[in-house]
A and B are shown apart, each in its own frame.
Chain A
Amino acid sequence: MVPVSYRVARRRRETHDSWTLELEPAGDAAAEPFAPGQFAMLYAFGKGEVPISVSALPLVHTIRAVGVVSAALCDARKGDVLGVRGPFGTAWPVEAAEGADVVVLTGGIGLAPLRPVVHHLLANRERYGRVVVLYGGRSPEELLYTAELERWRGRFDVEVHVAVDQAAAGWHGRVGVVTTLVPRADFDPAHTVAMICGPEVMMRFAVAALQERGVPAEAIFVSLERSMKCAIRLCGHCQLGPEFICHDGPVFPWDRVEPLLRVREL
């Protein structure tokens, strides 16, 4: 599968190590439309490819510089050309969640793959029950999309709570682990679909907190991350037991992957 050339139309710094790139086709060819939760293999020419979830539609990515390729992507300037393969993987169940309360629970860079879900929920607000966004970060300086979070919070039809692990005295928000937001959030556990994205250990505890509230395992969805190379179910780098994260995921119902995540050797 050959990458399609995309040009960086806009770039915005999110945190000290994360950037958002808005991409547009550099020529006549364009990738198929992405759905919230799916990812692209972004190619920094001469450096390599990495999987990056779509953080807004039609094609916006938020990238954290953690290696050679992701650092090169973060360095891309307006007008630079990148390669795009995709869309790959499964999407968040936004249509299946219609009629239910929706809890979006996320931490760190994990808000990026769930941001298009929030966009969809807010654009189609009448189709959902209560909408709750719970977001955790390391510190106030490391929160993504702060202006957008403020806009979401300013609406009367969505509940947004943010918690950071540590803060200096000037911070007037909540300090604590993100899972402590769950017990007091306003949703009906029996009629809720929860979508979680963040570090795997955070997701485990987040699931526990949601289940303690009474959200059934089959109504909880997580986005998993493993080393992905081919993205087309060939190389096996991203395998989790029988599941290929690049193809069968990254979005999974919790009850399908929970037994696999308990196997420490996987």
Chain B
Amino acid sequence: MQTIDELLGDIDVFRGLADDHLDLIAGCAQNRTFTAGDRLLTENEQANTFYAIRHGTVALETFVPQRGAVTMETLHGGDVLGWSWLFPPYRTMFDARALGVVRAIAFDGACLRGKCDEDPQLGYVLMKRFAEVMVERLQATRLRLLDVYGQVPGR
């Protein structure tokens, strides 16, 4: 059975980190399994936890009156879910729901924040990695905002 340290090495955001940093991060992590419909995050709650998805699909949702839950994005094996734990006021923005069996590594955000404060090098490395994820998601969101499939070419 793989240890948490070994599992972390398979997640993009942690790939290539120094062993001592992986040890520190693993100290705030535990394995979790969810089944279809389980909530991993709930909107407007204290953002104490974030996840590295190992397997399965998670829908990032928000509730829209008269429309119900709308899926804004799905996240999959290798993706990181949640960054509200990084910044005050540490509150989740969206719901995250398992669409089937999801195996994930859950991280205690407060624990990891504390370790980052104690070890600024770890904090810098992690912040850079999360910034990359955020930029990727921002760019993908911008592209979707163009609504390219709704455009009608000149005829």
Contact = CB atoms under 8 A, between A and B. Distances in A.
Interface string A170-186: 01111111011000100
B147 to A, nearest CB: 7
Contacts of A137: 149
A70 interface: yes
Given A176-B140, A184-B78, A167 B151 contact: no
Contacts of A69: 155
22 contacts: A50-B155, A66-B153, A66-B155, A107-B149, A108-B149, A137-B149, A165-B149, A166-B72, A167-B70, A169-B70, A174-B74, A175-B60, A184-B78, A198-B149, A199-B148, A199-B149, A199-B151, A201-B148, A202-B149, A205-B143, A225-B153, A226-B153
A147 interface: no
Interface residues of A, number: 35
A166 B59 CA distance: 11
Interface stretch (B15-23, B38-46, B61-69, B104-112): B61-69
Interface in A138-191: 138, 142, 165-169, 171-177, 179-180, 184
Given A108-B149, A142-B149, A172-B57, A177 B140 contact: yes
B149 A179 contact: no
Contacts, number: 83
Given A107-B149, A138-B150, A165 B68 contact: no
Given A69-B155, A205-B143, A227-B154, A172 B99 contact: yes
A214 to B, nearest CB: 17
